[in-house]
Amino acid sequence: MISIRNLTKGFENGPILEDVSLEINKGEALVIIGGSGCGKSTLLRCMNRLIVPEKGEIYVDGENILDPNIDIDKVRRKMGMVYQHFNLFSHLNILENIILAPMKVNGVSREEAEVEAKQLLHRVGLDGREYHMPSQLSGGQKQRVAIARTLAMHPELILFDEPTSALDPTMVDEVEKVIRDLVDDGMTSVIVTHEMSFARKIANRVIFLANKHIYEEGTVEEVFDYPKKPLTQQFLYRSRMYEKELNKNDLDLYSLSSEMKKFLLNYQNNDSQLKLLSVITDELLYPIFEHISNATIRLLCSDSSQRHMIQIYSKDFESDPLQEPYIDELNLRILEHYSQFVFSKQTKNGWNISIQMLSN
Ligand SMILES: Nc1ncnc2c1ncn2[C@@H]1O[C@H](COP(=O)(O)OP(=O)(O)OP(=O)(O)O)[C@@H](O)[C@H]1O
Ligand SMILES: [Mg+2]
């Protein structure tokens, strides 16, 4: 439905997004995550040309919206946008807020618009609030009105820019539920959010923006449970990551294993995971440090499940570290026995080993 090709956009201080390409399909719920200032809102606002990129093409249903001759209002009518700060008209009651655009822009009669507005208020769980003023509603209620107002324009796609981040935590759920219902009904949605548990529940696909581009993308499972790249891991796991540089000269595998155990005990865990930590030091690190001098080990703990992961990186591996001479068949078998899976991968920074812990 939207096809973004090689988009570049910057402000006075240089580029924010560089050479970003992205396809958004009909019915999809695409979640965009990334650190503050990485360009999430900028990317969203390019999609309805609130911001014009320096380079690239953006097609909406096959039409290049950056073409100056295009009827941009027509394109924008296909796309609703829901902001962090609701943007309701404070001097108009809820009903008037909802019917304004359908009447003015789409030429719908007042009667018809009012009937639909009431249906939409029902849909977002706000029956009977039509004559309230925005100031009489809570943040969560205002955001639900903002969503109803967007729906009143019959968009084919809705862009949500942090729809819950201005809300009191007690009101996040009610707004998330409304958005989830829309997605379940097949509304194509692009959602920027910092609420990772919400992102998990709603996304068909997740993109992580960093270093001015789509740094990593995939399904919820791929990005949240098994992020492959370091910045994604740091972003998602932050305090839930144990990391240690290992050096052959002062290698103390005994204290490494006890530090990792201590760290893991802060999270949901099981006996085989604790056992795995000893297996990793004895059957994997011990033999490979016969051949290498430096490595980094990371233990990434999941916040909500036992899906923890261990990764070992080293520039010193000259070939696949899960093979001779680094580790022999028997040691690998033992390691695999105590893990969900073990795999190695070559990247431009050398080989790395990923070990997914067994979860019950
Ligand atoms: N209109 C503008 N003029 C100048 N700089 C801008 C403008 N809009 C955004 N920027 C800059 O571009 C960068 C990306 O901003 P953007 O709002 O897209 O980030 P974001 O990922 O949405 O961040 P947040 O999570 O804080 O909302 C920021 O450094 C911001 O200061
Ligand atoms: Mg933003």
Q: Same domain, yes or no, for 142 and 10?
A: yes
Domain boundary among 173, 201, 225: 225
CATH number at residue 238: 3.30.565.10
Q: Same domain, yes or no, for 307 and 340?
A: yes
Q: Same domain, yes or no, for 183 and 242?
A: no
Relative to the CA of 39, which ligand 1 atom is closest?
18
- Let me know: does 189 contact 160? Beta carbons within 8 Å: yes
Q: Which residues of the chain have pLDDT under 70?
A: none
Domain encompassing residue 305: 230-357
119 CA to centre of ligand 2 in angstroms: 31
Q: Same domain, yes or no, for 71 and 208?
A: yes
Is the CB of residue 37 below 6 angstroms from any atom belonging to ligand 1? yes
Is the CB of residue 40 below 6 angstroms from any atom belonging to ligand 1? yes
302 CA to centre of ligand 2 in angstroms: 26
Number of helices followed by number of strands (H, E) in the chain: 13, 15
pLDDT value at position 321?
A: 96
Burial class (CB in 10 A: 0-12, 13-18, 19+), 54: exposed
Write the CA distances from 135 to 114, 128, 129, 304, integer angstroms. 21, 16, 12, 37
Domain boundary among 209, 225, 241: 225
Is the CB of residue 38 below 6 angstroms from any atom belonging to ligand 1? yes
Q: Same domain, yes or no, for 253 and 277?
A: yes
pLDDT value at position 16?
A: 94
CATH number at residue 147: 3.40.50.300
pLDDT value at position 150?
A: 96
pTM reported for the whole predicted model? 0.79
Look at the chain and report how many structural domains it folds into.
2
Q: Same domain, yes or no, for 22 and 107?
A: yes
pLDDT value at position 37?
A: 87
Q: Same domain, yes or no, for 90 and 12?
A: yes
Query: What tokens were used for 343?
Result: 């795999």
Q: Same domain, yes or no, for 148 and 235?
A: no
pLDDT value at position 302?
A: 81
- Let me know: does 168 contact 199? Beta carbons within 8 Å: no
Domain boundary among 203, 225, 247: 225
Determine which helix (DSSP H) or strand (DSSP E) holds 80, and give its type and residue range.
strand 79-82
pLDDT value at position 320?
A: 96
Q: Which residue has the tokens 């999809």?
A: 28
Q: Same domain, yes or no, for 242 and 118?
A: no
Q: Same domain, yes or no, for 68 and 204?
A: yes
